[in-house]
Every structure is written in structure tokens, then in C-alpha cells.
A and B are shown apart, each in its own frame.
Chain A
Amino acid sequence: MNILVRWIENLSNWVARISAVMLGLMTLLILLEIFLWNAFSKTTLIADEYCAYGLAAIIFLGAGYCLKEKGHIRITLVLGFLPPKLSRIITFVATGMTTLFMGYLWWYLLKMVQSAIRYNSTSGTLTNTPLWIPQVVMLIGAACFLLQLFATTVKTYEAIGTGEEVV
């Protein structure tokens, strides 16, 4: 199990690095657009649209890493009043439920992408990008996030005994 958890955490690191590169490229694309527009009155036509897709991608691609680094906000105030063991059990149950919920959400995201493919939905912009392309990237990100949630659940379970702080 521990090997799997470590493997997933490595994956989270890697997809976070990929999204860091994507964020860098998004910045460059906007700067290129500004430069082209002001210097030559030309436009890339895609800056707005593709940066929005980029944002959709990096949110989920970065979410797993953020979870691993304890970056997501949660309220520990009430848990702090409970006996430590009980609070760790509740944390495990809550993390497990969140993972199941994310699994459910992922299933419906998958169905959304499937119907975008089936009906050939496009962006309706000049590029007429098929919507499934950026949506698939989001779906991959959401899958990595789901894996990290699973790994975190495993860790919170182990933490019931060890008392280690994992979220």
C-alpha cells in the first residue's frame, strides 16, 4: 500500500510540474498577444480561449499536489475540541467520503466529455476547437486528483494509529 501511496504522490508532483509549465506558457501567450496587438495590430486569435482552457487544466492538475502539501483549506477548529483519536477517526471518514464524492463527480465529468465527443460540441469561437480536447485534459487532472485523495485517505487511516498529521 505504501508503495502505491508513494507512487501516487510522485504522480501529483509531476502533474504539478506540468501545470507549472502550462502556466508559464499561458503567461507567454498573453504577452505575445499584447505585443502583436500593440506592435502590428495583429492578434493570435487564441489567447483568451486557450488561456481559459489552460486554467481549467491547471486547477485539477494542481489540486492533487495542493492536497499533498496540505494546501487546501479546511476547518480544524471543531476537531480540535475532540479527543485526538476521535478527531483522527473523523478525519479518516471525512477524507474517505470526499474521495467517494470526487469519484462520483469524476464519473459525471466523464459522461460530460463523452457527450461532447458524441455531439461534436465545439467552442463556437473562431478556432472552433472541439470541446472534448480541453475537457479531456481536465478529466485527466481530475483523475490524478482522485488518486491523490485516495492516497490521502490511506494516509489518514494509518494516522489513526500513529497520530501523524497528514492533512
Chain B
Amino acid sequence: MEANLMMALVVFGILFLTLAAGIWVGFSLFIVGFMGMLIYSPLPAGNNMASSVWATIEKWEYVALPLFILMGEILYRSGISEKLFKSLVPWLYRLPGGLLLMNIVSCTLFAAVSGSSAATTATVGRITLAEFDKLGYDRRLAMGSLAGAGTLGFLIPPSLIMIVYAILAEVSIGKMFMAGILPGLLLSGIYSTYIIYRGIRNPAIAPRTQESYSWKERLVGLKDLAPTLILILMVLGSIYGGVATPTEAAALGVLGATVFAFLNRQMNFKILFECLVGAVKTNAMIMMIVVGAGFLSRVMGFLGIPAAITRTITELGLSPYMLMILLGVFYVILGCLLDGFSIVVMTLPIALPMVTAAGFDPIWFGIYLILMVEVSQITPPVGFNLFVIQGLTDEPIVKVAKYALPFFFLMLLTTAILTIFPNIALFLPNLMTTK
């Protein structure tokens, strides 16, 4: 066996031990990188670690991260999701599957202003789940569809995971954002089709309400959609048009969200301060993982591990599709055990050289990886969307995961479609003239 592969085994062995011992993910990555350097490299580990920390955290591009988190915190408390719900009800209540579609449509729209899946699930779910219970809807499908649709928060821009991916993979954050739009709409369409199909087969899953709405009510109700649509336009429009960098767009988003929350009478300076503290906390959580991964990835580079693994895989002579299927299986297993950020930062240094060598575009692979992260959000025992829904309903994790199972398969279907037709992801970024 190649010496580098032996090193890889040792490094992953230590990683497994530290993670299993319950050491925080960020520190596990740090410690493993440190041990790897100590054992295999003559370079001074301590100095390298310090300079790697500074190089990773002092980045203008990463400033988008706390800002989008802050925007999500503000929107969660802004009452925007109640408005979204109210304005969509008159349009959806008559379709087969009825308001269950609300989970999908609200999550799709909300994902376009929110950067995280857990935030999308929580914000939409705290409105819809209570309503569905009142209307006597099928709870299994209500929770399952929320778990599935909530994951759109990572795929539809803005997306915190995309920012981390783009910086580590050295692709443009703006292009990455644009690449998520069509796959996000595709997944949302597939979910909706499934719910309509279930609604036609068994109308009892979504009992009809007695209410009815006139066209006038429908159109007037649309004004409540305005805050969401304006925010989407401000944030995504400014990035797509090349007027603002993602960080600037995020600051505009924070401003817009704050203004709407104040107009909605849901905001005061005390709440705003709570949002800021909450954003600081989540930002620290994500960035500690990123900082640890930054160092481990540097060490693996020193040791030549990614190159060695890429060589070994290339020698196997797998077809590109076969490689993607194998990677998919690997990611689904990993996704049961780890959260999305850890998956991306831990596997990227090795997976990216491998797939680009097989002829895949790094932006396309980013979308593939994010779909895998979405899968990880709803696979037990570690799945953050499951945790959120457990928190909202008190149902045990395993049950929620079972309800979400059809949506798990729909995600895999979407990933397969995306692999066969990569242009679904690449079409919009290729149209962009700015970088």
C-alpha cells in the first residue's frame, strides 16, 4: 500500500476516536491535524496551527455568514412566516393535498431569504404544524413534508453551507448561489407532485375546509407576500445583477428584515439585541468547525493524502456515474452520523480533487454535495431537521424520520436527475457575466 494511504488510515482512525469520545467536531479536526503533523511532518505544528487559524478567520467573504445568520434570526421573530401563510392559503386550499402543499411552497419561498435548513424548518413549521392539527390533517405527511421541504433552506440561496463550500472550493459564492436556484425549484416541484398524488389517491389526508375565497380576496391577500418577495429581490437580485457582493447583499437583507419586523410591530431594540447574540452564537458554532477543518485540510495537503486517494480511485477506472453513486452511498452513511457543515468541510479536501479529476464541474459538485447534506438533515440518528421537528411536536426522532422517508427517496431521485443533467445547476451561473 502507498505510504500516503497508510497515513490517511491513521489520520481517519484518530478522527474517528476523537469524534466518538464526544470531543467537539471543530476541536476533533484540530487535534487530528495536529497529530498528523506531529507524526508525519518535520514542520512545526504549533506555529502552523496559529497561522492557519488567522488565515481562515480573517476573510471578508466569510462575513456573509454571520450576516445571513442574523437575517434568519430576525426573520424568525418578524412574523413574516405568518403573513406568508395567510397569503398562500386562498391559493392552495382547493388543490389535492390542500394545505400540505403549504409546507412545500412556504419552505421554498422562505428558503430564498434564509440560509439554513433548520431555520427554515423551524420558522415555517411553527406556523403550519399547529394549523394542520386544527384542520385534522394527516400528521405523518404533515411532518414528513416539513422535514423534506425544510431542507430546501440549504439548496435555495442564500445558503450558509454554500458560502462555506464556495470559499473552501475556491469558486464564486455568487455563482454557487445561482446554481442552487433551479435544482431547488426542481426538488420543490417533485415534492409538490408527490403531495398532490397522495392527495388524489386519498383525499382524507387533507380534509376540505368549509371556507372559500373569492378572487378578490386572493389578489388582495398577495400583498402579504410582498415582504418576502422584496427581500428575495434585494438579496438575490443584487447578487445576480452583480451590484453587490454576497456580503453586501447579506447586509442589505439584514436591513430589510429589520425594517419589516419593525413595521410588523414584532421588533424592538431588546429583541434585535437578542437576535445579534443568537447570531454570534451560531456563527461561533459554524466557524469553529470551519477553522478546525481549515487546519486539517492544510495538513492533509502537506501529507499528500488527497492526491494519493485521488490516484487510487482513478486507478480503479470507475465510470463517472459509478463514482457518483459510490460517493452518494458514502455520503448517505456519513449523513446519518454527522451534521451538514462537518460533512462538507471534512470530505471536501479529498472528494473535490477526485471528482474534478473525473471531469465534474466544482460548482456542480457543490450542488450535489448540498443535496447530500440535505439528505443528512433527515436521516437518523443525527439529522438537524428531525431535531427541529421533534422540538416542535415532541414526536420521537425515529418516527419523524419514518414520516420523512418518502422525501428521502425523492431527494435521491433529484440527485440522480441532476447528475444526468448537470446543466440544471450550471445554466444560471453560466449566464452570469460578473464573477
Contacts and interface: CB of A to CB of B under 8 A. Distances in A.
Contact of B24 (A98, A104, A134): A98
Given A23-B279, A33-B248, A65-B277, 20 more contacts: A17-B273, A26-B63, A52-B60, A55-B58, A55-B59, A55-B62, A55-B63, A59-B283, A61-B280, A65-B284, A66-B285, A71-B281, A72-B288, A77-B337, A78-B20, A105-B50, A108-B46, A109-B50, A112-B51, A138-B57
A30 B252 CA distance: 9
Given A101-B34, A108-B49, A112-B47, A74 B66 contact: no
A23 B70 contact: yes
B125 interface: no
B255 A31 contact: yes
A49 B273 contact: no
Interface stretch (B25-33, B81-89, B161-169): B25-33
Contacts of B283: 23, 58-59, 62
Contacts of A49: 60
B281 A16 contact: yes
A153 interface: no
Given A34-B252, A107-B46, A65 B54 contact: no
Contacts of B58: 52-53, 55-56, 134
A162 interface: no
A75 interface: yes
Contacts of B337: 75, 77
Contacts of B51: 112
Given A30-B247, A34-B248, A138-B54, A75 B22 contact: yes
Interface string A7-35: 00000000011011101101100110110
B291 interface: yes
For A48, A53, A54, A167, the residue with the greatest tally of chain B CB atoms inside 10 Å of its CB is: A48
Contact of B22 (A52, A55, A66, A74): A74
A49 B53 CA distance: 17
B50 A75 contact: no
Contact of B21 (A21, A26, A66, A90): A90
Contacts of B308: none
Contacts of A133: none
A167 B342 CA distance: 19
Interface of A: 16-17, 19-21, 23-24, 26-27, 30-31, 33-34, 48-49, 51-56, 58-63, 65-66, 69, 71-79, 87, 90-91, 93-94, 97-98, 101-102, 104-105, 107-109, 111-112, 134-135, 138, 167
Contacts of B34: 101
Interface residues of B, number: 58
B251 A30 contact: yes
A91 B70 CA distance: 32
B54 A74 contact: no
A73 B381 contact: no
A75 to B, nearest CB: 5
B119 interface: no
Given A51-B60, A52-B58, A59-B57, A66 B281 contact: yes
A55 B255 CA distance: 19
For A27, A58, A61, A98, the residue with the greatest tally of chain B CB atoms inside 10 Å of its CB is: A27
15 contacts: A20-B279, A26-B63, A27-B67, A27-B255, A31-B252, A59-B284, A59-B288, A66-B284, A73-B342, A74-B24, A90-B22, A94-B23, A102-B27, A111-B50, A112-B50
B30 A58 contact: no
A78 B63 CA distance: 35
A108 to B, nearest CB: 4
Nearest to A79: B22
B138 interface: no
Contacts of B27: 98, 101-102
A76 B60 contact: no
B19 interface: yes
B430 interface: no
* Closest 3 pairs between A and B when the two form their complex, measured CB to CB: A20-B276, A62-B284, A108-B46
